[in-house]
Chains A and B, each alone.
Chain A
């Protein structure tokens, strides 16, 4: 299987100042990938290295069977056939929408160019704006113009740098789904950079989670959420708390909430302290349960309440309950585990993650 985009052991930046280290990542034809991580994790730097704006200090970048970057040598951005959608859209203010979209189509004849621009305007649903200027459009429309402009020359890979960050938070997921649909319809291979996991889940086929300049885990949103490979990923994706645990056999561990069994061996030593990730949706309230917890605080989320509970040992967990089950802070409630996945790590001396983080 040939890869549209492949990063082999890429370092960006030098020595102690390396921003990205040993990043390997590949996307097949028509796949949408995502570089996910908090700000400063190196995701944008990596994207800019793919685009040709940053040199790599080690490793190689391949685009459609062409090596575009090695240490000391890089193909100029204009030679790479990558499209890029910028955070601020970077539309040319002196050109109309149609001429913005046609900017990268100089190699086409006038007629071909006009046809391509028209079909892209159609694709992003902006047919009526061709002669308008960028400042006359809303933010969402500008973004679609930026997308159409980047797609116009049929790039090998389309890069999207936090394309929704300037949008209204409520709109982001919907926009992400719309953009995904456009990309899928055109069969575009794309890489999205974002810090918003919901955006990543809504748009990407495959997510590479970055932290500290390193790709921590690469996989679907589901596997990142339910099968994080380390604490960094577990902490970043979703919410949850870590509870001290002890392995009792190859598949299960014991916590003060009871026994949790996974479907795959957890690989922990039987006699060493471990910790297990409890997601807020892993717990249900059950008056019959022998485990009692005290409500520390609660946050109203509309359909549910998110409770912070203190266990008898003093450890805290998060618990998501339908909002018709109301408990005031200080109340004692019975809780029961209902986890389908086991996420356990050996303890490294660190106490449980502070609940409510992220």
Chain B
């Protein structure tokens, strides 16, 4: 009985028992509505700090603000801009130059530099900053050596003052150029070799081809890498504070602690956020274009130009320099300091620092992973506009300086504590004081806001590779969404999940400003301790903690470099 217009009423159909009718989970679309609601709620919660800061743009400015605006604000803006200019120059020369050399040329050590150039990423800027301060000090190895060698005395020679704005720009460039290197290198390798060949057949030499074809094609990637480096520059607190350069982040600290004006600090943070948003837009915009440049399906292996003689030597030197200055020398100095303290430094107190840091980083990484799974999977189940927007909102934190997030966390937490306290006093006559502010809860929440994007990105990339038909196959076999996640996605995602864990773990270990502001009283981490000791001019004493952070920072670098070397086979010319 199958006709195109079957119109029998339900009467002659077996009447279903009401219990079986819609007995199962009722859903709209392929996923649970609960997941969607949960996803949006979580995302909004995580967006609170950023929204709070943005809200301060609307609050009428108080007396402090006017004071700030007429005195130090112009300095903050000017210094931040100058710093960005310096980092732009430094990372462009270092990043693009090394990317081009390692991807297009052959010279001694090329294969080694290809991954080793990433090593400076393991070095937090504030650590490299005080390491160089120690190195170039009057009593440091450089000057002492110079004096011994030449017999000069104080004032007979000139050494550049590293604790200055140009010094800060150099320090930041040394550890941030890998962003530009990484993305630019990928762009060069992704370029169709045919395009470059066409340029050669049209009569352009290698240099001209680089300048007129390869470089313009890589421009979106360069811009994306640069905007990442600049975001980190704006987020930096340790370096500029240590060097005494007044920027937004130091200004926020000063307004918060020195002037005791949360609103003024929040308004500075909001202004800083404006700068960041410009950079995010720039980065998104560049990547939008980058996508079009990778459409060529067939990749012919690159034939690298063989460099010989002085050119090869120059290329090796050019790649060795950032590696030496950005990693080997400071890491060496840290090791020397750390070894010199071998008898005394590794006591119960240091152990406590390590335990605190590892516990905190592990907890934050696990929670971030769980949240990322919930959000990423929620978005997969219900890719509706509000859910997509919410997930994007939750991932915004990574671009935002830790200082800004810390202020954005502490203000609503304090408000909540005060509300609870007032209510408790009014109803029960008991004062609860501060329940959340200044506790680990606030600190971990701050980390989640800042670093969720890292694990979210790993999880979403991994999920994106699992075809939707996998989910549908499992569900038509009787598996519910929650159990689908555990039975299909988690096993398939294992690699991405481990990566996500490691990345957040290391990021939390390195994070300084948010930890400084949000940590409970007398709770120390390696990063905080290293910074405090360095600020007290006890550079050598801070080395054990700093070195531990650098070693942990090597983990993501190794992961990255493994994915780099495994990504493409290049035939030698």
Taking a contact as CB atoms under 8 Å apart, the answer to whether B480 and A90 are in contact is no
Contacts of B28 in A (CB 8 A): 55, 72, 74
Q: Give the CA-CA distance A149 to B472 in the complex, in Å.
A: 13
Instruction: Pick from B23, B24, B467: contact of A78, CB below 8 A.
Output: B24
Taking a contact as CB atoms under 8 Å apart, the answer to whether B21 and A218 are in contact is no
Shortest Cβ distance from A209 into B: residue: B4
- Tell whether A78 pairs with B476 under 8 Å between CB atoms, given A55-B28, A65-B14: yes
Instruction: Give 1 or 0 for each of B456-479: 1 = CB within 8 Å of chain A CB.
Output: 000000000001011011111111
Confirm or deny: B573 has a beta carbon within 8 angstroms of a beta carbon on chain A.
no
Question: Which stretch from A2-10, A122-130, A168-176 is at the chain B interface?
Answer: A2-10
Q: Give the CA-CA distance A268 to B28 in the complex, in Å.
A: 47
Contacts of A78 in B (CB 8 A): 24-25, 475-480
Interface residues of B (CB under 8 A from A): 1-7, 10, 13-16, 20-30, 467, 469-470, 472-480, 487-488, 491-492
Taking a contact as CB atoms under 8 Å apart, the answer to whether A94 and B475 are in contact is no
Question: How far apart are B14's CB and chain A's nearest CB, in angstroms?
Answer: 4
Instruction: Pick from A25, A74, A90, A107: contact of B6, CB below 8 A.
Output: A25
A-B contact pairs, 25 of them (CB 8 A): A1-B1, A3-B1, A24-B3, A24-B6, A25-B2, A26-B2, A33-B2, A65-B13, A75-B22, A75-B25, A76-B25, A76-B480, A78-B476, A80-B24, A82-B476, A84-B473, A84-B476, A92-B473, A94-B491, A103-B474, A103-B477, A104-B478, A146-B473, A159-B476, A206-B2
Contacts of B475 in A (CB 8 A): 52, 76-78
Q: Give the CA-CA distance A84 to B5 in the complex, in Å.
A: 26
Question: How far apart are A320's CB and chain B's nearest CB, in angstroms?
Answer: 30
Q: Give the CA-CA distance A261 to B23 in the complex, in Å.
A: 56
Contacts of B480 in A (CB 8 A): 76, 78
Taking a contact as CB atoms under 8 Å apart, the answer to whether B30 and A53 are in contact is yes
Taking a contact as CB atoms under 8 Å apart, the answer to whether A88 and B479 are in contact is no
Chain A at the B interface: SS class: mixed
Instruction: Pick from A51, A66, A149, A218: contact of B16, CB below 8 A.
Output: A66
Contacts of B15 in A (CB 8 A): 65
Taking a contact as CB atoms under 8 Å apart, the answer to whether A74 and B477 are in contact is no
Shortest Cβ distance from A92 into B: residue: B488
Contacts of B23 in A (CB 8 A): 75, 79
* Nearest 6 Cβ contacts at the A-B interface: A79-B24, A104-B477, A90-B469, A65-B14, A90-B473, A77-B475
Contacts of B26 in A (CB 8 A): 73-76
**Residue among B6, B14, B15, B491 with max Cβ neighbours from chain A (10 Å):** B6
Shortest Cβ distance from B31 into A: residue: A76
Instruction: Pick from A6, A76, A93: contact of B27, CB below 8 A.
Output: A76
Taking a contact as CB atoms under 8 Å apart, the answer to whether A87 and B477 are in contact is no
Taking a contact as CB atoms under 8 Å apart, the answer to whether B4 and A53 are in contact is no
Taking a contact as CB atoms under 8 Å apart, the answer to whether B477 and A51 are in contact is no
Instruction: Give 1 or 0 for each of A76-111: 1 = CB within 8 Å of chain B CB.
Output: 111111111011101111100000000110110000
- Tell whether A84 pairs with B472 under 8 Å between CB atoms, given A65-B16, A94-B492, A104-B478: yes
Contacts of B30 in A (CB 8 A): 52-53, 77
Please provide the chain A residues from 1 to 44 with a CB less than 8 Å away from any CB of chain B in the complex.
1-3, 6, 8, 24-28, 33
Q: Give the CA-CA distance A3 to B473 in the complex, in Å.
A: 24
Question: How far apart are B496's CB and chain A's nearest CB, in angstroms?
Answer: 13
Taking a contact as CB atoms under 8 Å apart, the answer to whether A67 and B16 are in contact is yes
Q: Give the CA-CA distance A28 to B30 in the complex, in Å.
A: 27
Q: Give the CA-CA distance A3 to B474 in the complex, in Å.
A: 26
Question: How far apart are B571's CB and chain A's nearest CB, in angstroms?
Answer: 27
Contacts of B25 in A (CB 8 A): 75-76, 78-79
Contacts of B477 in A (CB 8 A): 78, 83, 103-104, 149-150, 152-153
Shortest Cβ distance from B4 into A: residue: A218
Taking a contact as CB atoms under 8 Å apart, the answer to whether A90 and B472 are in contact is yes
Q: Give the CA-CA distance A206 to B6 in the complex, in Å.
A: 14
Shortest Cβ distance from A86 into B: residue: B469
Q: Give the CA-CA distance A228 to B286 in the complex, in Å.
A: 55
Contacts of B476 in A (CB 8 A): 51-52, 77-78, 80, 82-84, 150, 155, 159
Q: Give the CA-CA distance A28 to B13 in the complex, in Å.
A: 12
Instruction: Give 1 or 0 for each of A104-146: 1 = CB within 8 Å of chain B CB.
Output: 1011000000000000000000000000000000000000001
Question: How far apart are B39's CB and chain A's nearest CB, in angstroms?
Answer: 18
Taking a contact as CB atoms under 8 Å apart, the answer to whether A88 and B467 are in contact is yes
**Residue among B4, B476, B480 with max Cβ neighbours from chain A (10 Å):** B476
**Residue among A33, A72, A104 with max Cβ neighbours from chain B (10 Å):** A104
Shortest Cβ distance from A94 into B: residue: B491
Confirm or deny: A216 has a beta carbon within 8 angstroms of a beta carbon on chain B.
yes
Q: Give the CA-CA distance A10 to B203 in the complex, in Å.
A: 65
Contacts of B479 in A (CB 8 A): 78, 103-104
Confirm or deny: A208 has a beta carbon within 8 angstroms of a beta carbon on chain B.
yes
A66-B16, A76-B25, A104-B478 given; name 4 further pairs at CB < 8 Å. Answer: A76-B26, A78-B475, A94-B488, A150-B476
Please provide the chain A residues from 54 to 68 with a CB less than 8 Å away from any CB of chain B in the complex.
55, 60, 62, 65-67
Shortest Cβ distance from A161 into B: residue: B469
Q: Give the CA-CA distance A75 to B16 in the complex, in Å.
A: 14
Taking a contact as CB atoms under 8 Å apart, the answer to whether A218 and B1 are in contact is no
Confirm or deny: A215 has a beta carbon within 8 angstroms of a beta carbon on chain B.
yes
Q: Give the CA-CA distance A153 to B477 in the complex, in Å.
A: 7
Taking a contact as CB atoms under 8 Å apart, the answer to whether A67 and B21 are in contact is yes
Contacts of A87 in B (CB 8 A): 469
Contacts of A146 in B (CB 8 A): 473
Shortest Cβ distance from B487 into A: residue: A103
- Tell whether A27 pairs with B472 under 8 Å between CB atoms, given A78-B480, A103-B477: no
Taking a contact as CB atoms under 8 Å apart, the answer to whether B478 and A2 are in contact is no
